[in-house]
Amino acid sequence: MNILLLGGGGREHTFAWKFSNDPGCTRLFIAPGNAGTAECGTNIDLGVNDFPAIKEFCLKNDIHMLVVGPEEPLVRGIVDFFKNDPELNGVAVIGPSAAGAQLEGSKAFAKKFMERHDIPTARYREVSNLEDGVAFLKSLQAPYVLKADGLAAGKGVLILDDLAEASAALETMLAGQFGEASRRVVIEEFLSGIEYSVFVLTDGQHYKILPEAKDYKRIGEGDTGLNTGGMGAVSPVPFVTPELWEKTETRVIKPTVAGLAAEKIDYLGFIFFGLINVNGDPYVIEYNCRMGDPETEVVFPRLKNHLVDLFQQTLNGQLASVHVDTEPEVAATVMLTAGGYPEQYRKGDRMVLPQPLPGSLFLHAGTKIAGGQLVTNGGRVLAITSFGKTIDEAVGKSLAAAETVKFEGKYFRRDIGKDL
Ligand code: AMP
Ligand code: GLY
């Protein structure tokens, strides 16, 4: 099977690494990819949202399967684009339809969906004018959670400590701080607890649960400072006990998959549940319509199944008969970022990596080859994943490996997993 993978971050290098060890994958192309994916297949200089160019590439290169990493092409309807074009009949697509991707593409849609299916989530109101919003804010306790309705590259959630600040922030959002994405805002009650991420693969009727993970979103140690795309992750998550798993599956996962089916929303692919444990009960913080980054960097290394086989069973509606086989050891990943990230940062700094280290995987995020030289090419540069019998052992190996990587401005958190 010839595969085209869309995306170019650490998540996509992890997909590409899995495919490169997969007997079901004959040729692998990655668009646009990075310096890491180039070692697993062939990088193609195509934009992930350029559907006509992706179509042409698939037809010319006899692609059988299109695997979509990031959310934006899904929300923009790449799955529908492929389904509705008879010339593309021969290309199976792993990802939800635009209607399904609304779970991530519109916070208001996701909240209403959860309301319809009685899925636990924070109390909320969807507002498009300041007066309604301030009235609702007054009914809540601090801190206040404001979410741009649409996609905002992970930056659209603001948490504010007092009412005046929250009202001012709401005004700025509604005035277009995040463009069209924040003309509608979801205001939520603040939930206190510890977060975890759960992933399922679904064929629209059945689902299989993949290993869970916890990611670390803030730039600073001790979970301080600005939000980032993710500074590290571990899997499994010790506080996700069998009891919490059971509640997560019955109260959240089952009604979500059943709700999509009942509403006849086409959904084939990954659902990422961003969850919070509030006194032993799971609540949904957000849905994503794709795998997480950097969660994939710990979830996939623990997954023993081949992806091509899993995807074929998904496409055939045969997921029910699949056994998900998981490595019991702990996987931890530490993200190395460019100085200044998540604010302004430089690109193009030369990088030096050590020889391959046994037990650690170097998963490229923002890297590329320029003039024959490996250089930084993004805020999140490199994820280093290691296995261990304990979280400490796995994180310790990744930290030791992180010390050996050289590039100007390198930064990473040394406290990944320390709170578990
Ligand atoms: P989201 O993009 O929806 O995942 O939100 C980003 C981050 O904001 C989450 O990972 C949480 O840490 C935090 N957050 C979002 N919604 C809430 C909420 N209702 N209560 C507490 N924290 C929240
Ligand atoms: N790590 C969170 C995300 O992928 O959105």
- Check for a shared fold between 123-189 and 194-403: no
CA of 209 to the centre of ligand 2 (A): 17
Dump pLDDT digits (tens) for 229-251: 999 999 999 999 999 999 999 99
Residues 6+ apart with CB under 8 A from 64: 1, 2, 3, 90, 91, 92
Class of domain 123-189: alpha beta
State the Cα–Cα distance between residues 110 and 190, nearest whole angstrom. 17
Q: Report the residue count for the chain.
A: 420
Please work out whether the CB of residue 293 comes within 6 Å of at least one atom of ligand 2: yes
Please work out whether the CB of residue 288 comes within 6 Å of at least one atom of ligand 2: yes
For the whole model, what pTM was predicted? 0.96
CA angle, corner 296, sides to 61 and 73, nearest 5?
50
DSSP structure string for 223-281? TEEEE-S-SEEEES-TT--HHHHHHHIIIIIHHHHHHHHHTT----EEEEEEEEEETTE
Please work out whether the CB of residue 195 comes within 6 Å of at least one atom of ligand 1: yes
The pLDDT assigned to 67 comes to 98
Dump pLDDT digits (tens) for 299-322: 999 999 999 999 999 999 999 999
358 pLDDT above the threshold of 90: no
Strands 27-32 and 2-7 turn out to be parallel
How many alpha carbons fall within 13 Å on the CB side of residue 324?
A: 21
CA of 381 to the centre of ligand 2 (A): 15
Closest Cα to atom 2 of ligand 2: 292
| Cα-to-chain-centroid distance, residue 150 | 16
The pLDDT assigned to 36 comes to 98
How many alpha carbons fall within 13 Å on the CB side of residue 192?
A: 4
Please work out whether the CB of residue 292 comes within 6 Å of at least one atom of ligand 2: yes
Q: Which helix (H) or strand (E) holds 157?
A: strand 157-160
Tokens encoding 303: 């997954």
CA distances from 375 to 352, 356, 385 (A): 9, 18, 20
CATH number assigned to the domain covering 194-403: 3.30.470.20
Residues 367, 379, 211, 333, CA torsion sign: positive
179 pLDDT above the threshold of 90: no
CA distances from 133 to 71, 140, 213, 232, 239 (A): 28, 11, 34, 35, 36
State the Cα–Cα distance between residues 59 and 258, nearest whole angstrom. 35
CA of 226 to the centre of ligand 1 (A): 13
| Cα-to-chain-centroid distance, residue 171 | 29
Q: Give the start-to-end residue ranges of the domains of the chain.
A: 2-98, 123-189, 194-403
Lowest mean pLDDT among 3-12, 152-161, 232-241: 152-161
Eight-state DSSP code of residue 356:
P
CATH 3.40.50.300 fits 2-98, yes or no: no
State the Cα–Cα distance between residues 401 and 327, nearest whole angstrom. 22
Helices (H), 139-180: 163-174
Instruction: Find the mean pLDDT for residues 245-265.
Output: 98
CA of 296 to the centre of ligand 2 (A): 9
User: Locate tokens 């959002």: which residue?
Assistant: 173
Please work out whether the CB of residue 299 comes within 6 Å of at least one atom of ligand 1: no
Please work out whether the CB of residue 223 comes within 6 Å of at least one atom of ligand 1: no
Please work out whether the CB of residue 10 comes within 6 Å of at least one atom of ligand 2: no
State the Cα–Cα distance between residues 112 and 98, nearest whole angstrom. 17
109 pLDDT above the threshold of 90: yes
The pLDDT assigned to 416 comes to 98
Residue among 290, 356, 296 nearest 331 (CA): 296
Instruction: Find the mean pLDDT for residues 179-183.
Output: 89
Asked whether the beta carbons of 122 and 190 are under 8 A apart, the reply is: yes
Residue among 169, 245, 168 nearest 212 (CA): 245
Q: Which helix (H) or strand (E) holds 194?
A: strand 194-202
Instruction: Find the mean pLDDT for residues 18-26.
Output: 97
